[in-house]
């Protein structure tokens, strides 16, 4: 998979993709990640990427032209109807559909080239959305100063679901949200830490009992913290 990040602050990403799973995935040729400065796609000597909104109002809006030029350069066309198969051009904004585990899996399984546009200021010229964007994503119901932190979240959520990224076929399958429940508790050495014991069921070697316990604990945790997930799983509103 190839991921291109379009931003006016490329320095934000200087080292963030050089750790952990993402670093291993890059080193193993599983994913290629490139960060591009939107200002490199401007035509004026001041490298201007924003302007006042028509109709008045506070703040500035990212202009359409540099984004169009960037997508033409990265994808080969500024017409989303002509994008190569597997291409997703994503605008990161508070107005997008929520990033859920199933959305991350959709991108991991169905995308070969993902372009992430990091919004800034009061937003992006709507013509970008109408002509270029295939998906608009939000990482939560709150407003950030820009899409850069969201881009990191989206990349991490997608990359860890790519084949061989985690080194285990079951690691991602057992994550929270993968089966509609939160993850179960986990324990490691020592068995007794300050009087707190590891549950006996995890020490007995009975894998059927361990899986049963893990499911029960995941269900209990979900009931306590995220009952909305259970309602969704059961088809309730």
The alpha-carbon radius of gyration of the chain (Å, integer) is: 22
Is 23 labeled as catalytic in the residue annotation? no
- Closest Cα to residue 213, out of 225, 201, 195, 227? 201
To which residue do tokens 């006016």 refer? 8
Q: Which of 94, 135, 220, 226 is catalytic?
A: 94
Q: Which of 120, 125, 148, 160 is catalytic?
A: 160
Burial readout 30-57 (b: 16 or more C-beta within 10 A, e: otherwise): bbebebbbbeebbeeeeeebbeeeeeee
Phi, psi of 220 (to 5 degrees): -65, -45
- How far is 167 from 26, CA to CA, in rounded Å? 13
Give 32's contacts (C-beta < 8 A, 6+ positions apart). Answer: 1, 2, 3, 26
Q: Which of 37, 65, 72, 122 is catalytic?
A: 122
Is 199 labeled as catalytic in the residue annotation? no
Q: Which of 175, 179, 183, 220 is catalytic?
A: 175
Is 53 labeled as catalytic in the residue annotation? no
The set of catalytic residues is 94, 122, 160, 175
């Amino acid at each position: 998979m190839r991921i291109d990040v379009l931003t006016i602050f490329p320095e934000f990403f200087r080292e963030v993709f050089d750790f952990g799973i993402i670093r291993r995935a890059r080193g193993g040729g599983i994913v290629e990640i490139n960060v591009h400065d939107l200002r490199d796609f401007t035509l004026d000597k001041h490298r201007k990427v924003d302007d006042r909104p028509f109709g008045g109002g506070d703040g500035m809006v990212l202009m359409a032209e540099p984004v169009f030029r960037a997508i033409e350069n990265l994808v080969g066309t500024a017409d989303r109807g002509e994008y190569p198969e597997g291409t997703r051009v994503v605008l990161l904004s508070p107005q997008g559909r929520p990033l859920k585990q199933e959305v991350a899996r959709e991108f991991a399984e169905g995308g070969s080239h993902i372009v992430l546009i990091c919004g800034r200021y009061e937003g992006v010229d709507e013509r970008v959305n109408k002509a270029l964007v295939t998906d608009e994503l939000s990482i939560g119901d709150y407003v950030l100063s820009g899409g850069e932190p969201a881009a990191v979240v989206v990349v991490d959520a997608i990359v860890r679901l790519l084949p061989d990224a985690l080194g285990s076929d079951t690691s991602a399958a057992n994550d929270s949200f993968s089966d509609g429940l939160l993850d179960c508790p986990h324990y490691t050495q020592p068995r007794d830490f300050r009087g707190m014991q590891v549950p006996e069921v995890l020490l007995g070697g009975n894998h059927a009992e361990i899986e049963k316990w893990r499911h029960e604990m995941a269900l209990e945790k979900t009931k306590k913290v995220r009952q909305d997930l259970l309602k969704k799983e059961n088809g309730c509103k």
